[in-house]
Amino acid sequence: MEQAIERKAEHLHISTTMDVEAKVGQGWEDVHLPHECLPEIDRDEIDLSVEFCGRHFRYPLIISALTGGHAKAVAINETLAKAAEHFGIGMELGSQSPLIDFPHLERSYSIAREAAPNAFLVGNIGASRLIQQQGSAACTLEQIQRFIQVIGADALAIHLNLLQESVMPEGDAKAKGCTEAIARVAQAISIPLFVKETGAGISKAQALKLKQNGASVLDISGAGGTSMALVEAHRAASRQNLRYERLGQTFAHWGIPTVISTIEAKASGLPIIASGGIRSGLDAAKALALGANLVGVARPLLSCAVKGYEAVVDWMETFFSELSIAMFLSAAPSVKELQQRKVVILGRSREWLEQLGCDLRAANE
Ligand SMILES: Cc1cc2nc3c(=O)[nH]c(=O)nc-3n(C[C@H](O)[C@H](O)[C@H](O)COP(=O)(O)O)c2cc1C
């Protein structure tokens, strides 16, 4: 289990110092918002706020799950949470499974609530940890309740990361029973249950299955942004583990691109967080126009957080400016109106959707 803590610190280091961006493309280049040359709205009146999970968000952004459970995570989570509080947005914490064996690491998570007394905070645990694995027992409902308590969580996210588990030597290989375990957690907790991917996306069929099993929000985390397989490839390379370096490289670009997964998962009728390779406010505008309720950003904010609070604030201000310009030029005075705008989908994304049998007209309504 000490290994798990070391691994988290390594993920942080690799993600902020090396190229771990998937080369598959999220699909944003295929999505177009038709330009409105006479929008008849004033740019400074554009309202970026949204209602989400019964709460008011000043901007349609949530900081995606990043870290916790090691010494460096304290300052990073404090910085990110302070920004979440300042901007009136949400924040997902990194996996809380290290707390099972090391309760003294609580502060690396609880610091987020201290720094953001009013922000919407989301706890986090991997689906693989909900079932028994070789060498580790299944996480209990009592432990999960404790994760929620530690940060005063407004929601809990169960993450799916079988791609990453498959390309790391110590990865959990068992997945039978995860769906049932997710349903058990959904029934046991009194806050919304998010189910989130970690860079490989969620299909329509899996989204419907998750809805049937108690998920109340899907954070799709599609392919095209940070590749956790590439992170693992770098980690294996640093240990001269050539086999696992190769496995990570082979699957570096695996997954359902974010654009496709956003449209597919939306068909479930659940609220959607579009994430995985959201790199600008223009990407966010496209995701919202495709029907996402919020967008999530992970690694770009981590890179800013290691530099300090001002860097995070600067990144977010620029991001929100880009989003508001895209809304202005689309004649959308609010996020709700943006969500009703027709989008044009071309190229590779269109081919993906057609081959999956997606009704493009219905997807655009
Ligand atoms: C260093 C690092 C650690 C992460 N840890 C977690 C985690 O503990 N739980 C989780 O659900 N996702 C985790 N993720 C995945 C992100 O939440 C996100 O889904 C993924 O990075 C794609 O978003 P991005 O392209 O904006 O980085 C992690 C990502 C990074 C880069």
How far does the centroid of ligand 1 lie from the alpha carbon of residue 95, in Å?
9
**Which residue's C-alpha comes closest to atom 17 of ligand 1?**
65
- Say if residues 229 and 248 touch (Cβ distance below 8 Å): yes
What range does the domain containing 7 cover? 2-363
Whether 4 has a pLDDT exceeding 90, the answer reads: no
Instruction: Collect all residues with Cβ–Cβ distance below 8 Å to 310 and sequence separation of at least 6.
Output: none
Q: Supply the pTM of this predicted model.
A: 0.97
How far does the centroid of ligand 1 lie from the alpha carbon of residue 298, in Å?
6
Over residues 312-357, the pLDDT tens digits come to 999 999 999 999 999 999 999 999 999 999 999 999 999 999 999 9
* Probe residue for ligand 1, chosen from 23, 62, 67, 221 as the CB with the greatest number of ligand atoms within 8 Å: 221
Structural domain count of the chain: 1
Whether 1 has a pLDDT exceeding 70, the answer reads: no
* Probe residue for ligand 1, chosen from 122, 159, 198 as the CB with the greatest number of ligand atoms within 8 Å: 198
Whether 363 has a pLDDT exceeding 80, the answer reads: no
Distance, in Å, from the CA atom of 192 to the CA atom of 122, rounded to the nearest integer, reads: 9
pLDDT of residue 134: 85
How far does the centroid of ligand 1 lie from the alpha carbon of residue 66, in Å?
5
How far does the centroid of ligand 1 lie from the alpha carbon of residue 92, in Å?
10
Over residues 163-188, the pLDDT tens digits come to 999 999 999 989 999 999 999 999 99
* Probe residue for ligand 1, chosen from 193, 194, 226 as the CB with the greatest number of ligand atoms within 8 Å: 226
- Say if residues 212 and 271 touch (Cβ distance below 8 Å): no
The first and second tokens of residue 272, run together, are 């959607």
**Which residue's C-alpha comes closest to atom 11 of ligand 1?**
159
Over residues 251-274, the pLDDT tens digits come to 999 999 999 999 999 999 999 999
The first and second tokens of residue 71, run together, are 């010494």
pLDDT of residue 15: 96
**Which residue's C-alpha comes closest to atom 22 of ligand 1?**
276
Over residues 27-47, the pLDDT tens digits come to 999 999 999 999 999 999 999
Average pLDDT of the chain? 96
**Which residue's C-alpha comes closest to atom 28 of ligand 1?**
66
- Here the CATH number for the domain that contains residue 33 is 3.20.20.70
Q: N- to C-terminal Cα distance for the chain?
A: 48
How far does the centroid of ligand 1 lie from the alpha carbon of residue 65, in Å?
5
Average pLDDT over residues 51-64: 98
Three-state SS string over the chain comes to CHHHHHHHHHHHHHHHHCCCECCCCCCHHHEECCCCCCCCCCHHHCECCEEECCEEECCCEEECCCCCCCHHHHHHHHHHHHHHHHHCCEEECCCCCHHHHCHHHHHHHHHHHHHCCCCEEEEEEEHHHHCCECCECCCCHHHHHHHHHHHCCCEEEEECCHHHHHCCCCCCCCCCCHHHHHHHHHHHCCCCEEEECCCCCCCHHHHHHHHHCCCCEEECCCECCECHHHHHHHHHHHCCCHHHHHHHHHCCCCCCEHHHHHHHHHCCCCCEEEECCCCCHHHHHHHHHCCCCEEEECHHHHHHHHHCHHHHHHHHHHHHHHHHHHHHHCCCCEHHHHHHCCCEECHHHHHHHHHCCCCHHHHCC
**Which residue's C-alpha comes closest to atom 15 of ligand 1?**
198
Output the ligand 1 site: residues, CB below 6 A: 11-12, 15, 64-67, 94-95, 124, 157, 159, 196, 198-199, 221, 225-226, 275-278, 297-299, 302
Residue linked to tokens 């929601």: 155
pLDDT of residue 364: 73
**Which residue's C-alpha comes closest to atom 3 of ligand 1?**
66
* Probe residue for ligand 1, chosen from 17, 129, 219, 299 as the CB with the greatest number of ligand atoms within 8 Å: 299
